[in-house]
Amino acid sequence: MPERRIMDAQEIQRSLSRIAHEILERNRGVEDLVLVGIHTRGVILSQLLEQNILRFEGNCAPLAELDINLYRDDLQARESPRVRPTKFPVDIRGKNVVLVDDVLFTGRTIRAALDALSDLGRPRQVQLAILVDRGHRELPIRADYVGKNVPTSLDEEVKVRLTETDQTEDVIIVKL
Ligand code: 5GP
Ligand code: MG
């Protein structure tokens, strides 16, 4: 199975540091900011962004988690649905919400995440932070903060490996 590495640990760390700065700049600090990680690696990335924000600002934004498998409209097309607890200890009404995920592909997960958010209240604004944008959008969705744009073909998969889940940290592209 041929694979190529597109980000190493240092590049991931630099991207997260840059995105944390961009989030702080665009939102003028952490006041009214909420970070919402999307299941598994989006949650971990939101925690890593949070650590950077705390380091730069001395203050951090509340974190929340969404389990999107419950809301996907094409569950049959991919992995079987799994229900995980959604941690949402924050009120998003009037807040600037930054959704965080590892890979942006068709855009369907983010569309589902927007649905899930709208059940929880009306944020002031919703922004999107993504580590890898692999293209192939099927909906009019784009990210506000991107670690790396990586053109891919449909027979490839992006593997995002993070220390917390994979005991290593890099991004590789695997030909299926
Ligand atoms: P979309 O809903 O935009 O088609 O796909 C994005 C969601 O599926 C994200 O939550 C992401 O984790 C996962 N995903 C889609 N394609 C890939 C991929 O090539 N690699 C990884 N790691 N995740 C993907
Ligand atoms: Mg995912």
User: Which pLDDT tens digit goes with each residue over 107-154?
Assistant: 989 988 998 888 889 999 999 999 999 999 999 999 999 999 999 999
pLDDT the model gives residue 72: 58
φ/ψ (deg, to 5) at 174: -115, 130
Tell me if 93 is assigned to some domain. yes
Tell me if 159 is assigned to some domain. no
Question: Atom 18 in ligand 1: which residue has the minimum CA distance?
Answer: 158
pLDDT single digits (tens) 26-83: 999 999 999 999 988 999 999 999 999 999 999 999 999 998 775 555 545 555 445 5
Question: Atom 20 in ligand 1: which residue has the minimum CA distance?
Answer: 158
- Per the structure, how many domains does the chain have? 1
pLDDT the model gives residue 70: 58
Tell me if 141 is assigned to some domain. yes
Tell me if 37 is assigned to some domain. yes
Question: Atom 11 in ligand 1: which residue has the minimum CA distance?
Answer: 103
pLDDT the model gives residue 149: 98
- Residue 9 vs residues 56, 162, 168, 171: alpha-carbon distances, Å: 20, 9, 8, 8
Q: Which domain holds residue 95?
A: 10-74+82-154
Query: Which CATH number characterizes residue 144's domain?
Result: 3.40.50.2020
pLDDT the model gives residue 73: 55
C-alpha 173/C-alpha 162 separation (Å) is 15
Distance in Å, CA 129 to ligand 1 centroid? 13
pLDDT the model gives residue 79: 53
In this structure, the dihedral spanned by the alpha carbons of residues 64, 35, 129 and 142, taken in order and rounded to 10 degrees, is 80
Distance in Å, CA 60 to ligand 1 centroid? 27
Q: Which atom of ligand 1 is nearest to the CA of 134?
A: 19
Tell me if 16 is assigned to some domain. yes
pLDDT the model gives residue 74: 55
Task: Give the model's confidence band at 85: pLDDT under 50 very low, under 70 low, under 90 confident, else very high.
Answer: low
Q: Is the ipTM of this complex over 0.95?
A: yes
Find out whether 107 and 141 touch, Cβ atoms under 8 Å.
yes
pLDDT the model gives residue 81: 45
Average pLDDT of the residues of the chain? 91
